[in-house]
Amino acid sequence: MTSIPPAAHADGTPLSVQLFTISDTGHGPYVGLPVTSVWDEDTAHLFTRETAVRIVANAARDDQGTSGTFAADGTLTLQWTETYNELGRIVIVTPDAHGRYLIGGLWPWAMWGDDGAPHTAGQAAFARGATEYRQADDATSLPEPLDGLYRQGRREAQLLSRECPGHREMFDVDPSRTPLVATQRPTNAPFKALPPGASEASARVVAAREVKAGDLVLASFDRPIGSGRITRSSAWMTDPYVAAPRPWNPWCVCTPCQLDRDLYDGEEPEPRVVFAVPEGRRTACDMWEPDEPLLVVPAALLAAPA
């Protein structure tokens, strides 16, 4: 009865999200992300916090013999009620770095739709939105309020898989060490509009030393602060500039260079990659460590202004 599809396609691409329900309840669909190559009804899958809250509420109401509580730090404690299991088993789920919960083994999961439990048009619309999360938004083909539920399902799948349009993961530089996450570039003040022909969608990550003259420099990446955080998020420049590399001059008297030297407090600074940027009527240096990842639109992808 339980479906056991593989978690990756033959070419190794990870399987997309799947829809689950608690077997024979008609609850859900819950948008889940499998993390194993095969699964059965007890296998744990990843869920967003929002879905985890719904699952716990449904399971409690449906007498699955469990109760669950979220602590202030996000930890989810699931507990079998005494009448259900006198051993009083407790399962503590700590969310992953992206706030997702690995839940399974407390009740039988079933693939949504496989167990024959009845569902509503609203559930079907949510399910369709979730399964079409990588395709064009088709909500307008549905009447209200089904269009809203379609969009909810779609958004949930995008959040869980971290494939939402405004949230690209970039692994070009060193995937094993630090995932780089580019959020959507703000458009409000003081962020200036990109020059004509420049598209955020053409941006890519390169080390500072690889940036070529004419590339448009858009962002650097914040370093992780505090424990548990592994990703570096895009730090968008308010005023992107076209890179004009120039030699690093350890005796340069521009303001950024003097500030940089102050950080070294008399020690010899490490060599920098330098781009010339306007500073009032003069030219100043924008300096980077050679390995620093930067988000740029390569010159070749900058369409010539019409």
The contact set with Zn ion (CB under 5 A) reads 252, 254, 257, 285
Instruction: Provide the minimum distance between the beta carbon of 293 and Zn ion in the complex, in angstroms, as a whole number.
Output: 22
Name the residue nearer to Zn ion (CB basis): 237 or 257.
257
> C-alpha dihedral over 10, 3, 79, 76, to 10 degrees?
40
CA distance 273 to 14: 37
197: left (phi over 0), alpha (psi -120 to 50) or beta: left
Q: Which secondary-structure segment (H or E) carries 195?
A: none
Instruction: Provide the minimum distance between the beta carbon of 285 and Zn ion in the complex, in angstroms, as a whole number.
Output: 3
Name the residue nearer to Zn ion (CB basis): 130 or 285.
285
Name the residue nearer to Zn ion (CB basis): 78 or 254.
254
Q: Is 36 helix (H, G, I), strand (E, B) or coil?
A: coil
Name the residue nearer to Zn ion (CB basis): 75 or 249.
249
Name the residue nearer to Zn ion (CB basis): 198 or 254.
254
Instruction: Provide the minimum distance between the beta carbon of 213 and Zn ion in the complex, in angstroms, as a whole number.
Output: 18
Instruction: Provide the minimum distance between the beta carbon of 301 and Zn ion in the complex, in angstroms, as a whole number.
Output: 29
C-alpha torsion sign, points 216, 243, 233, 194: negative
Instruction: Provide the minimum distance between the beta carbon of 245 and Zn ion in the complex, in angstroms, as a whole number.
Output: 13
* DSSP result, 85-113: -TT--EEEE---TTS-EEE-SSS-EEETT
CA distance 103 to 99: 13
Name the residue nearer to Zn ion (CB basis): 102 or 287.
287
Instruction: Provide the minimum distance between the beta carbon of 252 and Zn ion in the complex, in angstroms, as a whole number.
Output: 3
What's the alpha-carbon Rg for the chain, to the nearest Å? 25
4, 48, 2: which is closest to 21 by C-alpha?
2
Name the residue nearer to Zn ion (CB basis): 180 or 285.
285
Work out the angle at residue 16's Cα, subtended by the Cα atoms of residues 14 and 20, and round it to the nearest 5 degrees. 130
Question: Do residues 114 and 1 lie in contact, with contact meaning Cβ atoms separated by under 8 Å?
Answer: yes
Name the residue nearer to Zn ion (CB basis): 3 or 283.
283
55, 82, 131, 221, 301 from 152: Cα distances, Å: 16, 36, 12, 30, 34
Instruction: Provide the minimum distance between the beta carbon of 256 and Zn ion in the complex, in angstroms, as a whole number.
Output: 6
Instruction: Provide the minimum distance between the beta carbon of 255 and Zn ion in the complex, in angstroms, as a whole number.
Output: 8
